[in-house]
Amino acid sequence: MSDIYTSCIKKPRDSTSCSSIEGEMEGSHATTGPNNGEEFKVQTAKHNNHAPMRPPSEQSKDRAQKRLSAESNGVSEGGAGARTPVEVTALEEAFRRFAVHGDTRATGKELHGKNWSKLCKDCSVIDGKTITLTDVDIVFSKVKKKSCRTITFNEFKEALTELSRKRFKEKSNDEAAEEVFKLIEGKSPIIAGVTRAVASPTVSRLTDTTKFTGSHKARFDETGRGKGKAGRVDVLDKSGYVSGYKHKGSYEKKMQPRPKPE
């Protein structure tokens, strides 16, 4: 019993250890004064004001949008935030111009059959003798994938290589391909005359204001320009002159004093 009793009795604290602990506590209270407390509140407020973390799906969408914008501007993003220029050849630039022609949703990375035929026409790849529109359609169906209706830039170059062998038979494959590439480099879709109005006697008669009669004639002046409200509504003349009077405003000129001779 005595051994158990003595083991249960706690040992007294060392005076030196107690004094050191009390000194540390006083130092900690001293550092957390009024000024330091305010700094602590400001730091916590800054951490709390940070924007919440977005889900991974939104972050991936942002990265995809940045990549597409960088590709459209001819710049690619490298590691550690580096930006390296992407070399866009004149042939690829022409491919993109024809790929987005007439389609606002096109990305410029794929070319469908209609614009492929237009490219071959506008760039004089079709000469009507060795290469015809039928040949162009056959080559397009040959190089494209079975489940796709468009061709990529690599398939586009392959199709041009196929046509070059038929267009320039006397040259080698590489020289013939270079000749066809030169026909397309730097070119754009031809849109001249697409929106030109067709002149017909019926339309010209209906739009010629000099041939209008009745109330329709009163709505336009001698130059064919509309009078606006004055041509639609009878405006009351409050000038005091009789309608048809030709010397309106001449009285004021007559009554002006004559200049005295010097």
Q: How many helices, marked H, and strands, marked E, lie in the chain?
A: 11, 4
Q: Quote the CA–CA distance of 143 and 123 in Å, as a whole number.
A: 20
pLDDT at residue 221 in the model: 87
Pick the most confident of 71-85, 156-170, 189-203, 206-220. 156-170
> What would the pLDDT profile of 205-238 be if each residue is shown by its tens digit?
788 888 888 888 888 888 888 888 878 887 777 7
pLDDT at 64 over 80: no
Return the structure tokens found at 72.
Answer: 């459209």
Q: Residue with structure tokens 């009745």?
A: 214
- Whole-structure pTM value: 0.44
> What would the pLDDT profile of 107-145 be if each residue is shown by its tens digit?
899 999 999 999 999 999 998 889 999 999 999 999 999
The radius of gyration computed from the CA coordinates of the chain, to the nearest angstrom, equals 44
Burial of 158 (0-12, 13-18, 19+ CB in 10 A): middle
Residue boundaries of the structural domains of the chain: 90-183
Q: Quote the CA–CA distance of 167 and 131 in Å, as a whole number.
A: 6
* CATH H superfamily, domain 90-183: EF-hand (1.10.238.10)
pLDDT at residue 37 in the model: 52
Q: What is the DSSP letter of 104?
A: T
Average pLDDT, the chain: 74
